[in-house]
Copies of this chain bind each other. A is one copy, B any other.
Amino acid sequence: MSKALKKAYCADKEWLGRVDCGNCHIRHLMLFSGLPDNAFENTLAPVDHFIFQPNAMLYEASATDPYIYSIRRGLVKLLHMAPDGSQRIVRIMGPGATVGLAMLDGGDGYRHSAVAVSAADVCRIPLTTVKALQSEYPQLCQQVRERLQEHLDRADEWIIALGTGPARGRVIHLLLMMSNFSTDPNDDIELLKREDMAAIVGTTVETVSRIIADLKRRQLLRKVTETNLYRCDAEALRAIAGEEAG
């Protein structure tokens, strides 16, 4: 819970250029799926493409930049900073997700701060563009709603699996969630930093460290190469998490 304020989030991002959504080869996975190719011919404000380095901030809570962000690759954490500087990670979103949607309701600004976990490949979409497209193509409404529902489902999962029960089970649930993000056929995952894990499951760094170290010792988590990629024995982990839930 308690952790001193520390990171000075730098705007450590790289601009890759203006984007032509009509020709985006992964558009069918993104917010603008379902729109015709020519829908973007008259958009007034440009969609820009960035790569955010790890720990770079996409936006800050309560800011009112007129953008939403569509994640192409990488992970983005949404976090809440307590007045005392401790932080709680409220969600982690991956490829295909859209963050900052609260801006569509106007007014109050972003609900959280958004920070890249791994290097994140992201499209920055101006609000005006979304609104214009939305009025012309009502099916975009549906897309937006589904993205919001995705956030909601994930938040609920967070509450149920990561906010309940003994710490070990929560950490294991987190590992399993991370392995779901992986496009990798095996269950290889890149372990988060202990501090992030602690801010996710709501415990301390030490507790997380002990649990992870223990899982490693029991070979339920094995370093797979020289990178910090780990393979987790999903079956065994699920079994442990399940028996602890009781």
Contacts and interface: CB of A to CB of B under 8 A. Distances in A.
B1 A164 contact: yes
Contacts of A245: 1, 82-84, 86
Contacts of A163: 159, 163, 202
Name the interface size band of chain A.
35 or more
Interface in A77-126: 80, 82-84, 86, 88, 90-91, 101-102, 104-105, 111-112
Given A165-B1, A246-B2, A80 B148 contact: no
B156 A80 contact: yes
A218 to B, nearest CB: 24
B105 A160 contact: no
A145 B146 contact: no
Contact of A149 (B82, B102, B159, B160): B102
Contacts of A246: 2, 84
Contacts of A111: 152-153, 156
A88 B160 contact: yes
Contacts of A90: 156, 159-160
Contacts of A83: 242, 245
A125 to B, nearest CB: 16
Contact of A145 (B91, B104, B135, B156): B104
A214 to B, nearest CB: 21
